[in-house]
Amino acid sequence: MIDALRDAGRIAVLTGAGISTASGIPDFRGPQGVWTKDPAAEAMFDIDEYVASREVRVATWKHRLAVPAWTAEPNAGHLALVELERQGRLTGLMTQNVDGLHQKAGSSPELVHELHGTVWYVDCLQCDRQIPLADVLPRLESGDEDPVCEVCGGILKSATVSFGQSLDRTVLERAAAATAEAEVFLAVGTSLQVYPAAGLCDLALKAGKPLIIVNAQATPYDEEATAVVRTPIETTLPDLVTRP
Ligand code: ZN
């Protein structure tokens, strides 16, 4: 059961919104989720709506500014995964989160594979230039509600993956490689309903690796998992990564 994790030399980890809720960042589909409370907010995460409507872009930037990612601090769950890396047991840390808290906690950027992008960078949808959010933030704060690219005038968008956008191929390849390299696959704080992120579990299962799930709610993979843990992530993970 959980011993499969404690005994494993090499572990691949997938994290979702559940690991960051203890840091004050709301999830999307949970009881207090962004989309649960305001279904219209889902339009802000659709690339076609974003490109077509200035109104949606203005609302999205306002939402971004209000999101506590800028001031949020990593919690014991993030720190436990830093410890796993320090022990030399982490093959890769795949995350569906865009908050950058794994890196802020101290996980090596080269081991963190951000499947859905990051809020810390901004993309120009026209010339593909990527700029740090820190360069755009002052413009937003000084009243530019829909900032455009200073080079080409194109639409700017947070470097996160919206509905209708494909995931970064290189990131996906690295995630698959980290999964292949591991003895055990650990899924933390993710409902495992979004693909291709959830498909990493299939990769692990097909290769006969134990799948350990730590999540408050049921997931479609619970039956195939070697162990399912429902206790809070920020207390569970530090315990799990500490060898007895
Ligand atoms: Zn541009």
58 and 81 fall within a common domain: no
Tell me the pLDDT band of 139, cut-offs 50, 70 and 90.
very high
Residue 230 lies in a domain: yes
- As a whole number, the mean pLDDT across the chain is 91
Per-residue pLDDT reduced to its tens digit, 44-58: 789 999 999 999 999
Question: Angle 107-78-175 (CA atoms, 0-180°, nearest 5)?
Answer: 55
106 and 227 fall within a common domain: yes
CA of 136 from ligand 1 middle (Å) equals 13
Active-site residue, selected from the candidate residues 78, 102, 113, 116:
116
- CA nearest neighbour of 131 among 120, 146, 121: 121
CA of 178 from ligand 1 middle (Å) equals 33
105 and 186 fall within a common domain: yes
Residue 213 lies in a domain: yes
Q: Are strands 211-214 and 227-229 parallel, antiparallel or unpaired?
A: parallel
Instruction: Count structural domains, the chain.
Output: 2
Say whether 102 is catalytic. Answer: no
CA of 100 from ligand 1 middle (Å) equals 24
Residue 9 lies in a domain: yes
Helix, strand or coil, per DSSP, at residue 38: coil
Most distant CA pair in the chain, distance:
57
Say what percent of the chain tops pLDDT 90: 75
By the 8 A CB rule, do 15 and 188 touch? yes
CATH at residue 81: 3.40.50.1220
Supply the pTM of this predicted model. 0.91
Residue 109 lies in a domain: yes
CA of 140 from ligand 1 middle (Å) equals 17
